[in-house]
Amino acid sequence: MGYATILDIAGSILIGAMLLGIILKLNNTASWSIYSNAGELNCQTNLTNMSMMLESDFRKIDYCSDNTNIQDPANAILAADTTSIKFISDLNKDGKMDTVYYYLGPATELNSTANPRDKILYRIVNNAAKLGSDAGITRFYIVYYDINGDTVHTPVASASLSLINDIELNMNIENVTIDSSRANSYWRQARLTVPNIKHR
Amino acid sequence: MGGKAILFVVLGFSLTFLLIGQNYNRITLRANDNMTNYANSEISHNIALSGANIACNAFYIDPTWTAGYSNVSCQGGTFSVTCQTLDAVKLIKSIKCISTFQGFNGYSLNTYHDTIIVTLQPSRFSRFAYYSTSEGGTIYWATGDTVKGPLQTQDYLRVSGNPVFLGMVGTKLGVVKKNGSADHPQFLGGLLTGSNVPINSAGVSSVESFALTNGFEFSGHDTVYLNFKGDSLKYRYAWNAKDTTKLISAMVPNGVLFVKGGTARIKGTVKGQLTLGCSQVSTKGGNVYLDSSIAYNSNPITNPSSTDIFGVVAQNNFVIEDNTQNNNSVTIQASIYCQTGSFTADNYSTRGYDGYINLLGGIVQNVRGAVGVIGSGGTITNGFSKNYSYDRRFMFSAPPNFPNTGLYNVISWYE
């Protein structure tokens, strides 16, 4: 075995190591990118699902399928605050009014996730157990407007609940698995019109 | 050998890049599909919303409209509208709009549908907390005045200072501010100028037709004294005559009582749903006098589920009698409709100060009437002070066969 052979072996090892390094680095980068992009996709999917659910519920405030059981629109919203709202609606179209309660839980409930900011948005219908999922919501707040477009200050006093005419919903969703601001989706329903409280 | 190895390396890298690229593409496509799906759903919803609004407008222009629409093009899709009568007696109708929109989601063309159902019922004058054809000269709504329900005037709405209107306000001729920009009326339920809801000139006669069908009509008496006693009614035709007592449900199955060509004098406690009509024949009658307070058996303020509802439909005036029973405040729980006259107090300018009119209901009058006189100190010196509350049940309920406005109200909107 001459110098040439040793040089070939050493060169092969060197080139092989470089190729292996490149492959490992490529694999690592690709995995991280896909992981990150999948997180963004999850954020986006959660955002569209949550927004469709919110829109569907909020548009039905004070709706009742039984026209003999329609409630006074002035009493349709039972409580309203920045991160919570309670209202009545015949959600399942059985002619009976249901009480729907949305509220945002504290961030401490989800200490186990990598993202320290995510919270659970709860939805409670009547006296059923509270339902909520970790969709990565980091901000959820509601702004209320009266008929003139002026803000109704929160928490809305009982006497002022009947003044609410339009609702603005804001929601921010981040990736729950990483603490990164990259996977961040924001949704705002600038003026959600609630048709059943219009004819007060 | 070296050439083959390089070829394998290139092929291996190519395969790896292809797999990674495919993963990227899949995620990107799914994200795109997700947003496209949301956008398509929103477009479909907007098409249905447009169709429902167009149909409501058609219904507003012609309340007999039942034709509907079929596959009308809108925003790249179509909508179809069907009209249906839900209750033939109460004339409750429904408009159903279904949208169709085809949009790409991924590589496939998907069809999106959305449905909006609007329920409408005839609008009754009892819905108004206050209505007038004429505001009776230059009477102003002033600071301290609060109207708690819908208001409509066919006249100018004259304001001074900061009156508060909690319900929707409609005025045909517009708003006149006595002090110009210094006046700040608060329209917390909205303001609609140019709103035209003329009084129903056939309101009294329509009530009479229902009284003749399955109600009860007093005819040929100058005056009918009606004393409501919950389930029963005591009536007589002269102040010193003997009362006749009847069970209201047997006497007026449809809840419509009518005094033709005479004066009705009322007092007592009303139970159930009842409308009292009063017409003028030749020059006689058409006025309803309040001899003493008239209230519900079950007060809806303390019992929101109360089903007691009372309406008075007078051809001319509703007058609070000047007598001892009414000289220390009166209670009126009803919706009052005065087709050609006013809601007023007898001798309002000469009687003493008689306390408050505690009204729960609404006042519909042709000409705004007076119930008291304001002295130089700004306080009421003669007649009554006003304590008017709107009975919010009238937003959706009405006394039996109370005159309608000829329009329909949306009572329910499903999206």
| Structure tokens given for B319 | 């007058």
- How do residues B257-304 score in pLDDT, each as one tens digit? 999 999 999 999 999 999 999 999 988 899 999 999 999 999 998 888
Does any domain span residue A98?
yes
Range of the domain at A139: 45-197
> Structure pTM?
0.78
Best probe of the A interface among B37, B94, B115, B413, by most A CBs < 10 A, is: B413
Termini Cα distance of chain B: 71
Rounded Cα distance between B147 and B153, Å, is: 13
Out of A41, A195, A199, closest to residue B27 by CB: A41
Rounded Cα distance between A75 and A87, Å, is: 9
Rounded Cα distance between B170 and B152, Å, is: 5
Does any domain span residue A28?
no
Does any domain span residue A29?
no
Query: ipTM score here?
Result: 0.83
The residue type of A84 is S
Sequence-distant (6+) residues with CB within 8 A of B187 are A147, A148, B165, B169
Cβ burial, residue B322 (10 Å; 0-12/13-18/19+): middle
Rounded Cα distance between A35 and A170, Å, is: 27
Section B73-101 average pLDDT: 91
H/E/C letters for each residue in A79-119? EECCCEEEEEECCCCCCCCEEEEEEECCHHHHCCCCCCCCE
Sequence-distant (6+) residues with CB within 8 A of A61 are A76, A77, A87, A88, A89, A194, A196, A197
CB pairs < 8 Å spanning A and B: 82
Termini Cα distance of chain A: 99
Q: Which residue of B has its CA nearest to A37?
A: B27
Q: Does A60 touch chain B (CB under 8 A)?
A: yes
- How do residues B214-261 score in pLDDT, each as one tens digit? 999 999 999 999 999 999 999 999 988 899 999 999 999 999 999 999
Does any domain span residue A27?
no
Does any domain span residue A193?
yes
Reported as half-sphere exposure (CB side, CA atoms, 13 A), residue A162 has a value of 18
Q: Does A17 touch chain B (CB under 8 A)?
A: no
Helix (H) or strand (E) holding B214: helix B203-214
Section B315-337 average pLDDT: 95
Does any domain span residue A39?
no
Across all residues in chain B, what is the average pLDDT? 90
pLDDT-above-90 percentage for chain B: 59
Cβ burial, residue A141 (10 Å; 0-12/13-18/19+): middle
The predicted structure's pLDDT at residue A182: 59
Does any domain span residue A49?
yes
Q: Which residues in chain B are closer than 8 Å to A60, comparing Cβ atoms?
A: 414-415
Does any domain span residue A7?
no
Q: Which residues in chain A are closer than 8 Å to B16, comparing Cβ atoms?
A: 23, 26
B141 three-state secondary structure: strand
Q: Do A72 and B87 touch (CB under 8 A)?
A: no
Beta sheet of B164-165, edge-to-edge order: B146-147, B164-165, B186-187
- How do residues B348-361 score in pLDDT, each as one tens digit? 999 999 999 999 99
Q: Output DSSP code: residue A75.
A: G
Cβ burial, residue A168 (10 Å; 0-12/13-18/19+): middle
B343 three-state secondary structure: strand
Structural contact between residues B192 and B168, judged by C-beta atoms closer than 8 angstroms: yes
Domain count for chain A, please give it.
Answer: 1
Q: Do B412 and A163 touch (CB under 8 A)?
A: no
Residue with tokens 């009536």: B235
What is the distance in angstroms between the Cα of B409 and the nearest Cα belonging to chain A? 8
Q: Do B189 and A63 touch (CB under 8 A)?
A: no
